[in-house]
Structure 1
Amino acid sequence: LLGYYVTYTTDKSAQEIASMCTGVASDEAAPASLLLSKTAELCYLIWWHYRIAYE
């Protein structure tokens, strides 16, 4: 169950960051504010998921 939560959280966060960073007026502070409430390990997993899925 914990693995599902981590996968869901990283996927949803990566999608939110991708939607924040696309467009003409992308705000750099928005993704940072999303990651402030996450642990260092979860931020790392979100970064990997974003890198694989959106770059």
Structure 2
Amino acid sequence: MKQYECIVPGCSWQTHSEEEAEIVRRAAEHMRSAHDGMTVRESTVDQIKAHIREADTASS
């Protein structure tokens, strides 16, 4: 499982998925809707991909 946290400072939105492409799709949709119609360019997609991490699977 992979996870992603929004790259916009102060935003706590996050998502999880097995597929990187699904995370990128969700993140782009989030950027456009939650951040005042932000334009998602190829460079933005590259930033999103760079911030995708493996989800922490440790149990408490």
TM-score range normalised by the length of the shorter chain: 0.3 to 0.5
Flag the structure with higher strand content.
Answer: 2
Structure with the bigger RCO (C-alpha within 8 Å, sep 6+) is: 1
Normalising by structure 1, report the TM-score. Answer: 0.39
Normalising by structure 2, report the TM-score. Answer: 0.36
